[in-house]
Structure 1
Amino acid sequence: MTRWTAIIPVKSSESAKSRIRLPAPERRILADAFASDVLTAVVASELVGTIMVVTARDDFPEGACGRRIVVLQDRPLPAHDGLNGAVEIGRLWAQANHPRRPIVVVPSDLPCLTPNTLDATLHQLHRADTAFTPDAADCGTTLLSASTPHRLRSAYGTNSRRHHTLLGAAVAEDVDCRVRHDVDTLDDLAEALQLGVGSRTRAAIDRLHLTAATPGVNMGTPPPQPRPEYFVSAAHAITPGTHLSHPHPPTVPGTPAGNREPPAGNAPQPGRCSAHSASSRQMSR
């Protein structure tokens, strides 16, 4: 498979994660941690070749450097077109530099993302000319992809799942729920911790002394280990607006060769964001 070009839009510090009910400096710490963990996962992906960080920031989270990362200057956010404007900046760069490579938008608020879950999802997205993964709430969008930059059309925002479907993108729902779990609120963050977050997000949670108020949820214990990954190799034609799903049930007889993530018997199944559908968890100090 041709290596992908990835766009990671990163909001300015002032506007990042405004729905998280914490003081602005603490929201920035969390947003930086999320972005750093996303960058770490994308850099370690076996399928991504070039990474574009599109941002209006003058500074970047630790880890935002390397030969494979291109930093593109965005207008100060929020702008009237918000995230979609940043995506367009990245798309135009990719069109000029890698016009025949597949392209994917990876939001910077996916702290549960891992290299293996990303690669497994890219295998599935590659089956359609344009495709996306819905968020855990099933009304928004996390990853958005196209077979070439020319085909990429983004409609992030309220009810983006519906808008991307209307634009003809296929829906990839049956993916690991860590790919679908974006974090916009403290409740989202508590649920993310149950799925497993990256090291910088975990360090930020500890630094801010955030705890889970719900009985039985202990922020001080290690997160559950992720399950082994499986990969989809089907390459049949997909019609726009259809649902992408795995051709076989998501069961794994053993750990695939080269897997970088240890197995666990109680980890969540792909496509079923169990932490999101469970009783609401709240975080506090």
Structure 2
Amino acid sequence: MRRTQPGGPGPRPGWTMVVPVKTLIAAKTRLAAAAGPHRAALAVAIACDTVAAALACPAVARVVVVTGDPVPAEALSALGAHVAPDPQAGLNAALRAGAAHALGLAPDGPVGALQADLPALRPAELGVALAAAAEFDQAFVPDAAEVGTTFYGVRPGVAFRPRFGGESRARHLGGGAKELTPDGIVSVRTDVDTPADLAAALALGVGPRTRAVVETMKESPTRETPS
């Protein structure tokens, strides 16, 4: 939805957020020991809570999910996300494909890449980050460890050049993106890859889908059956 300020010049396109979602066989492998047979369900729940929070942010007009797996695609589409195919050429290629899809939907709007593993994401905190990002041609939010990146975004008309993976904070800085660390965006920086990350997110407060799977994990054995 486009929003207009009373008495303003007219509606401005909201952000399109591009969220990459791995195939479930590859998703959250570092949580395998903790999640056991619930790993795939946990990965879907985390992605769903992330996308639901993004869609609830007033600054976000739409979410484009890039995935090659029909299971998360169906779940995320049901939340209201657009789904685009993954070109299967790596994370940044997936994000660029999603950004191209986003420009087809809203050619005059800003585009952001958001990691799919932010189960504690608060819409208001994402709004703070997006308001800060709107002041720069390209900007990013580092993860809590200040090694990776959880968000990268560009203004309309600016080339979308994501540099996710590994030590992406340094690469985004090297690419000229403005680093954003304003107060009040802890949930935007709390990504989940490991059991320790999950514990931190739970302490912060995760979304209902993640919480439900975690409760199920507590009630059942967690050792994953070898395939």
Q: Give the TM bin, normalised by the shorter chain.
A: 0.7 to 0.9
Partner of 2:86: 74
Pairing of 1:26-105 with structure 2 (within 5 A):
26-60=38-72, 63-65=75-77, 69-76=81-88, 79=89, 82-105=90-113
Report the residue type matching 1:116 in the other structure.
A
| 1:111-132 Cα distance to aligned partner (Å, 9 max, x none) | 1101111112111111111000
Provide closer, same or farther for how the CA distance between residues 62 and 91 of structure 1 changes in structure 2, counting only shifts above 3 A.
Answer: closer
Pairing of 1:145-160 with structure 2 (within 5 A):
145-148=153-156, 150-160=158-168
Shift of 1:29: 1.5
Verify: 1:196 aligned to 2:205, yes or no.
yes
| 1:162-192 Cα distance to aligned partner (Å, 9 max, x none) | 0001110000012421110100000110111
Pairing of 1:241-260 with structure 2 (within 5 A):
none
| 1:137-165 Cα distance to aligned partner (Å, 9 max, x none) | 00110011100264211110111000001
Partner of 1:152, secondary structure, is coil
Q: Within 2, Cα distance between the matches of 1:120 and 1:112?
A: 15
Partner of 2:192: 183
Pairing of 1:119-134 with structure 2 (within 5 A):
119-134=127-142
Partner of 1:5, secondary structure, is strand
Runs of 4+ aligned residues of structure 1 deviating over 6 Å after TM superposition are none
Partner of 1:12: 23
Q: TM-score, normalised by structure 2?
A: 0.84
Shift of 1:61: 6.5
Report the residue type matching 2:110 in the other structure.
P
| 1:26-77 Cα distance to aligned partner (Å, 9 max, x none) | 221111110010111012111111210100011226752359521101145x
Q: Number of paired residues?
A: 209
Q: Within 1, Cα distance between the matches of 2:109 and 2:31?
A: 36
Shift of 1:98: 1.9
Provide closer, same or farther for how the CA distance between residues 55 and 206 of structure 1 changes in structure 2, counting only shifts above 3 A.
Answer: same
* Alpha carbons 2:134, 2:155 under 8 Å: kept: yes
Greater CA radius of gyration, 1 or 2?
1
Partner of 2:216: 207
* Alpha carbons 1:35, 1:111 under 8 Å: kept: yes
Provide closer, same or farther for how the CA distance between residues 149 and 97 of structure 1 changes in structure 2, counting only shifts above 3 A.
Answer: farther
Partner of 1:45, secondary structure, is coil
Partner of 1:265: none
Q: Within 2, Cα distance between the matches of 1:192 and 1:69?
A: 23
Pairing of 1:269-284 with structure 2 (within 5 A):
none
Task: Flag the structure with more relative contact order, 1 or 2, with Cα contacts below 8 A and sequence separation at least 6.
Answer: 2
Gaps of 5+ in 2: 1-11
Provide closer, same or farther for how the CA distance between residues 67 and 196 of structure 1 changes in structure 2, counting only shifts above 3 A.
Answer: closer
| 1:84-108 Cα distance to aligned partner (Å, 9 max, x none) | 1110111111233322211111111
Report the residue type matching 1:109 in the other structure.
D
Shift of 1:17: 0.8
